[in-house]
Amino acid sequence: MTLPQPFIQFLLSQAVRILAIAVLGTVAWNTPAIAEEKPLSVPAAVAKVRPSVVTILTRGMPSAPSLHGTQSGSGSGIVLDTTGYILTNNHLVEGVTSLVVGLPTGRLTPGRVTARDFLLDLALVKINATDLAPATLKASAALEIGETVVAIGNPLALKGGSTVTVGVVSALERSVLTPNGETLYNLIQTDAAINPGTSGGPLVDLSGQVVGINVAIAPSAQAISYAIAIEAVYPHIRSMMLRGTISRPDFGFTPVTVTPSIAASFGLEAERGILALNVDPAKIAGAAGLQTGDVITALDQRQLYNIGDFWHSAMQEDEQPSLHMTIQGRTGQSTLTMPRPAMQKFTP
């Protein structure tokens, strides 16, 4: 039997349609639902973030050289939101009597410090201004060693706006000892130049997002600069806005870094560690047996040299329900076990 020509054409068209659907269905199945974000050029990344970078001019600041470079009475900051919160370094605003914020438009406006944390070297400054351009913070910065980053800031408060330097991520998870005897953790090492006045400004990846806060240089080396990783800072920003400080567990004692002068004043045999003062026997550490005058030399077998070491170890995420303190007390060395406190989290 011979089929009518129109019917044959209909069958052929349906076969082609079914084949096309099958092919297109396969392509759609193998194509990612969300395309990866393509890197911007360096000028495009700078253009995206530069309107969020401000200059911070201070009075009453000590002028001694430090890990952060020669103090010049100026630094940088990052606009966080349209209400006027600016993120910067604590060492820029510690001890100041007044400060002024220079906006990207060139206008100067008074600012006030609303929160500080010397352990993370962070501070919040509040200004009254309109038309602010908040930066985008990269909360989960999946950085790779060798990728391009850009440091933006206002070195020496030079006229004409912020300065840009370009480099790569040289290393991750660095820690450095500051001149005040504390340790800064969670640092990004980069060879992008960070000069006096650039501290507090953003370190940016090629998506135009802030991955770090410029904080320090290695004074005895070349092309070694550091930025505090935004990934480590991000969970604490809301706490600083709401409480004026970073929320940390209440162990029920006052920790003090053991220095030669502290050891001599309290007659301590330990040369390093954390001296426990004002121990409350009803709280976590006191209930575990800690006494005023004890020196904590290790926490979960991590050696302690200063308060920064203590809090860095105490606030590590761990599935173990307990913390183990190595104690140098009046009767010798011992180990105390206390419950691991719950961490209060704030969502920015």
- Residues whose CB is less than 8 angstroms from the CB of residue 273 and which lie 6 or more positions away in sequence, other chains included: 258, 295, 296, 297, 298, 304, 305, 328
d(CA 286, CA 54): 45
Which secondary-structure segment (H or E) carries 265? Answer: helix 260-266
Q: What is the DSSP letter of 48?
A: H
Q: Return the active site residues.
A: 91, 121, 199
Distance, CA of 324 to CA of 301 (rounded, Å)? 8
What phi and psi, each to the nearest 5 degrees, are found at residue 244? 80, 5
For residues 128 and 84, the answer to whether their CB atoms sit within 8 Å is yes
User: What is the spatial distance between Cα 52 and Cα 148, in angstroms, rounded to a whole number?
Assistant: 20
What is the Cα–Cα distance from 229 to 188, expressed in whole angstroms? Answer: 6
Q: Decide: 328 and 313 in contact? Cβ < 8 Å.
A: no
Instruction: Give bridge partners of residue 339 from the DSSP assignment.
Output: 322
CB atoms within 10 A of CB 136: 14
Provide the 8-state DSSP code for 29.
H
Report DSSP state, residue 150.
E
Q: What does the alpha-carbon distance between residue 78 and residue 237 come to, in Å, rounded to a whole number?
A: 12
